């Protein structure tokens, strides 16, 4: 089973990406959230899910493990396939989806194309206890897509220091949005004052 692929982005569309690794191009189907994060990058690391069926071998790519975990939970629900799960993740940010599921907001799920009331209720019933309450944006703020390395390094450092990841991401996102030219060290120092 593949966990992730890392390489050069040779093609990128809102629905898929081709990542070249060792001379091979891997086509991965992606959500719009992942597309936004990859847009403008030359290289990437994608966490993947490999769907092996009789008629096809498909790869689904995700910018982070949080998005992949939500995808896996969604496809575990009866009546929700990979394309429907990808549509949900394209329509709703991961932290918002976690909040929608944990609060039982079926009407918000019904706004997604292909999700009716029965499917929305089934998703909430099946996943309410499995999804952690959304703790704020992870990779969704503009700061994380425009400055992925600086922001991600700062969050990783704060998590290693023992701070809560969602809180760290929220604070770092705000700092980078307000001061985009700060170095990783300056972001961490500012975040430590705010956490």
Q: Domains of the chain (ranges plus CATH)?
A: 4-62 (2.40.50.140), 65-127 (1.10.150.20), 142-194 (1.10.8.10)
Q: pLDDT digit string (tens) for 164-193?
A: 777 888 888 888 888 878 888 788 888 887
Residue 140 DSSP one-character state: -
- pLDDT of the residue at 133: 57
Can you give the pLDDT at residue 50? 94
Q: State residue 67's pLDDT score.
A: 94
- Report the relative pairing of strands 24-30 and 57-62 from DSSP bridges: parallel
Structure tokens at 92: 């709703």
What is the end-to-end Cα distance of the chain in Å, rounded? 38
The ranges of the chain with pLDDT < 50 are: 134, 136-146
Q: Are 175 and 182 in contact (CB under 8 A)?
A: yes
How many Å apart are CA 53 and CA 82, to the nearest integer? 12
Q: pTM surpassing 0.75?
A: no
Rounded to whole angstroms, the Cα distance separating 142 from 20 reads: 26
């Amino acid at each position: 089973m593949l966990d992730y692929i890392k390489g050069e982005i040779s093609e990128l569309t809102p629905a898929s990406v081709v990542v070249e690794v060792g001379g091979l191009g891997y086509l991965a189907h992606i959500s719009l959230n992942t597309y936004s994060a990859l847009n403008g990058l030359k290289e990437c690391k994608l966490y993947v899910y490999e769907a092996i069926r009789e008629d096809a071998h498909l790869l689904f790519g995700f910018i982070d493990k949080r998005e992949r975990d939500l995808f896996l939970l969604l496809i575990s629900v009866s009546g929700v396939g990979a394309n429907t799960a990808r549509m949900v993740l394209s329509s709703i940010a991961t932290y918002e989806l976690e909040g929608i599921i944990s609060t039982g907001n079926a009407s918000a799920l019904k706004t997604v194309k292909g999700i009716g009331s029965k499917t929305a209720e089934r998703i909430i019933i099946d996943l309410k206890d499995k999804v952690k309450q959304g703790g704020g944006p992870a990779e969704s703020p503009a700061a994380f897509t425009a400055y992925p390395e600086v922001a991600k390094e700062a969050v990783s450092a704060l998590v290693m220091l023992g701070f809560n990841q969602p809180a760290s991401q929220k604070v770092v996102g705000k700092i980078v949005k307000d001061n985009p030219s700060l170095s990783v060290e300056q972001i961490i120092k500012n975040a430590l004052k705010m956490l």
